[in-house]
Chain A
Amino acid sequence: MDTPERESMDYDVVIVGAGPAGLSAAIRLKQLGGDDLSVCVLEKGAEVGAHILSGAVLDPSGLDALIPDWREKGAPITTEVKEDKFLVLSEKGKMGLPTFLMPPLMSNHGAYIVSMGNVCRWLAEQAEALGVEIFPGMAASALVMGEDGGLKGVVAGEFGLSKDGTPGPNYEPGINLIGKYVLIGEGARGSLAKQLIANFGLAADSDPQKFGLGIKEIWRVKPENHHPGRVVHTMGWPLNTGDAGGGGFLYHAENNEVYVGLVVHLDYKNPYVSPYQEMQRYKHHPEIAKVLEGGERVAYGARTIAQGGWQALPKVIFPGGALIGCSAGLVNVPRIKGNHNAMHSGMAAAEAVTEAIKAGRSGDELAVYAQKLADGPVGRDLKPVRNVKPLWSRFGEIAGVALAGFDMWCANLFKFNPFGTLHHLKNDAQSTGKAADYKKIDYPKPDGVLSFDRSTNVAFSGTNHDEDEPTHLKLTDPLIPIAVNLPEYDEPAQRYCPAGVYEVIEGEDGKPRFQINGQNCVHCKACDIKDPSQNITWTVPQGGSGPTYPNM
């Protein structure tokens, strides 16, 4: 198709993504540059927060640095962590890990249980008050490259394509938003970030990025089961069968709400694993069920989380822009925290950008940002824990975590890691094993009380896509799902997608057919990561589509 004519609009800085990273960058830019700097933020969700899904226990260090008086300013951060439990689950039982055995850096003392969706809504208000222009419902769908090969801007706000990709009756071509610098804060597995990483070879010297898929529900529970400020992390059951690694969380937030979720590492080998079903049975464990019983599930969602840590961090800068937050991959895996680093990285990038623009520069590499990231709070947070995930992948759940604990203790006490730096060996797609080598998993049927079937739950994500828009899930080769993935892996897309988007159904000719129900997609990005043939590309659908998360 011909590229449509588009208007252009110039800003000093264009930011993609109103997550903690993008919003922190925007706020810091305005704090430093004031009216001299024009800043816009694009967000694909219909409103800020609509696509944000996090745990979340927030380490406030990022916010302390960004807006020190956030308490006085009424940030929706009020539930301080009061109790911190770590349980190793067996099918029916549990073993608590005494807190004194936990490496101190894993303590949640001083942290808060928050809805990051609501925190982002609040950050957006702060940003707008400083003069940042935020455009929710506007997806950044393509890169605009300059003649010199650097990034100049992005295409945003294209609407109304028909199913076949041609302009429909209400077509809006969108505009080119051009910036002296463009900051990419799309979160884990950003669709533009993926192109930039490939185009500029940003991951040439880093390990493959690793991901987990986090599936989360919000429950309103009985007041007697609710203990605001209680944090429970679990390991073991149901992910102790050797099929997949990961861990669960249960956070008692405010208003009788509990956030319950399970993160399944996407490097699982058994292609029969269903992260969704693992999450459903997780809730039946007596330790979890006793909290949820008599309660009501009020929201559902899923999102991948970048878990590669320090070794997998790509080069974060390229001519004309930078990757910030989880588009780079800044989660501290043992602490399962990335929001504070997303904020620190946004601020660091903003400081580098302001300095560059003040010096009259534009469109070049922000070396100062890369330096700040390595030497500042983010580097200090990520380097000591860099071996946890590789040990986990190599030695399995219990042994790996024990070794990782030892490694972290050493990092804590002696400031050195006995294992040096261990590398991630494969990406998650390559880790998938052949169906013939694994057993089918017989998951229990949902009971409709604690556990639900996938399509019922997806309705609680409020997700929707325009019926007429082209599918945003692109197959490089449309034959692969049935020709390769089905015989070799029993097409795992049927199971890893937490929204039931992919189905293998019988066609009219009696042969299997691959069906994509793109309207249900919750933008978790798992398919883009886990397809064993790496044949699925998640592209951004028109702005305003996707989930309508409340306080996720």
Chain B
Amino acid sequence: MKIVVPVKRVIDFNVRVRVKPDQTGVEFANVKMSMNPFDEIAVEEAVRLKEAGKADEVIAVSVGVKKAEDTLRTALAMGADKAILIEATDDVETDIEPLAVAKLLKAVVEAEDAGLVICGKQAIDNDVNGTGQMLAALLGWSQGTFANTLKVEDGKAEVTREVDGGLQIVSVKLPAVITTDLRLNEPRYASLPNIMKAKKKPLEVKSASDFGVDVTPRLSVVSVNEPPARKAGVIVGSPAELADKLKNEAGVL
């Protein structure tokens, strides 16, 4: 079985994201980019399945700018076998919308004859939380979202999902799309020897038009704003004082 793992290049989670003065978007100049943390978890899970003998090949796919090659190299260093870059824009500020990404991924999944897709539950840049679900719908596959445990056996995937207020265990037929939650695993570090080896692994470069997919945005951004500044807090002296304030000042208890 082949596993496809979509990986997105996003602003690094350590960076203080700033809104552009004209409120058309966020500032990308001089900003460090890395792999979406949920996608690292997805790569890790796929590589573990391969190491456990449950998959034959792990294919990392990224849709975006040329520089996303760096992100794919990271996936290769973590253990993916090959990578496909679909160059869909040359402007880092253009966010390819989930539906277009899902259509491109569908084409890759079909061309590679993959049996499982593991992707992040959401990208930490636009937080849409939609690509995996759209892909499952387009492919007509089962889906198991927000996975914190994944067991693949006998043509089925048992997914423990993080849902509001608890855990839900579902069993889905393969082929399927799984989306990862934070606690699914702790991704490995890319070791120096593996980074060196990754430089020699195959990385195909395609364009969106190779797949006949129109990536023109369908949504238009009206404006992007900073969250309102929080009011200064107070230091409480004791748990009792905290409880008192919550009860009598905030009125939440």
Binding site for B on A (CB under 8 A): 7, 9, 46-47, 50, 115, 117-118, 133, 135, 137-138, 156-157, 159-160, 169-170, 172, 174-175, 177, 220, 255, 296, 298, 459-460, 462-464, 542, 548, 550-551
Contact = CB atoms under 8 A, between A and B. Distances in A.
Of all A-B residue pairs in the complex, the 7 with the closest CB atoms, nearest first, are A550-B30, A159-B189, A157-B192, A551-B30, A462-B14, A172-B191, A548-B14
A113 to B, nearest CB: 15
Contacts of B193: 7, 9, 175
B30 A115 contact: yes
Contacts of B15: 462, 548, 550
**Chain B residues touching A, majority SS:** loop
A464 B14 contact: yes
Given A460-B16, A548-B14, A548-B15, A170 B189 contact: yes
B188 interface: yes
Contacts of B186: 169-170
A50 B21 contact: no
A222 B34 CA distance: 31
B108 to A, nearest CB: 28
A170 B12 contact: no
B195 interface: yes
A462 B192 contact: no
Contacts of A255: 29
A298 B20 CA distance: 11
B201 to A, nearest CB: 16
Contacts of B189: 159-160, 170, 172, 542
22 contacts: A9-B192, A46-B12, A115-B30, A133-B196, A137-B190, A156-B192, A157-B192, A172-B188, A172-B189, A177-B192, A296-B18, A460-B16, A462-B12, A462-B15, A462-B16, A463-B14, A464-B14, A542-B189, A548-B32, A550-B30, A550-B31, A550-B32
A135 B32 contact: no
Q: Which of B32, B187, B192 has the most CB of A within 10 A?
A: B192
B17 to A, nearest CB: 10
A138 B192 contact: yes
B32 A46 contact: yes
Contacts of B187: 170
Nearest to B44: A170
Contacts of A550: 15, 29-32
A220 B31 contact: no
Nearest to A169: B186
Contacts of A118: 30
Interface in B153-185: none
Interface of B: 12, 14-16, 18, 21, 27, 29-32, 34, 186-193, 195-196
Contacts of A156: 192
Contacts of B18: 296, 298
A459 to B, nearest CB: 6
B68 to A, nearest CB: 15
A175 B192 contact: yes
Contacts of A296: 18
A172 B193 CA distance: 11
A215 B201 CA distance: 43
B32 A174 contact: no
A162 to B, nearest CB: 12
A499 to B, nearest CB: 14
B32 A157 contact: no
B39 to A, nearest CB: 16
Nearest to B191: A172
Nearest to A175: B192
Contacts of B31: 550
Nearest to B34: A46
A462 B34 CA distance: 13
B96 to A, nearest CB: 23
Given A156-B192, A172-B191, A548-B15, 12 more contacts: A9-B196, A46-B12, A46-B34, A115-B30, A138-B192, A170-B186, A220-B21, A296-B18, A462-B14, A463-B14, A550-B30, A551-B30
A47 B32 contact: yes
A46 B196 CA distance: 16
A174 B30 contact: no
Contacts of A170: 186-189
Contacts of A137: 190
B51 to A, nearest CB: 14
A7 B27 CA distance: 42
B14 A174 contact: no
A177 B193 CA distance: 11
A550 B30 CA distance: 5
B210 to A, nearest CB: 28
A98 B34 CA distance: 48
A548 B12 contact: yes
A220 B29 CA distance: 13
Given A46-B12, A462-B14, A159 B34 contact: no
Contacts of A460: 16
Contacts of B190: 137
A460 B31 CA distance: 12
Contacts of B34: 46
Nearest to A45: B32
A135 B195 contact: yes
Contacts of B14: 462-464, 548
A551 B189 CA distance: 26
Nearest to A7: B193
Contacts of A159: 189, 191
Contacts of A133: 196
A459 B16 CA distance: 7
Contacts of A462: 12, 14-16, 32
A50 B32 CA distance: 8
Nearest to B12: A548
A142 B213 CA distance: 51
B12 A157 contact: no
A548 B34 CA distance: 11
A115 B31 CA distance: 13
A156 B30 CA distance: 27
A174 B21 contact: no
B232 to A, nearest CB: 9
A48 B195 CA distance: 16
A7 B189 CA distance: 16
A72 to B, nearest CB: 22
Contacts of A175: 191-193
A360 B40 CA distance: 45
A444 to B, nearest CB: 17
A129 to B, nearest CB: 15
Contacts of B27: 298
A135 B191 CA distance: 11
Among the interface residues B12, B31, B189, B190, which one has the most CB atoms of the partner chain A within 10 A?
Answer: B189
A142 to B, nearest CB: 14
A117 B187 CA distance: 29
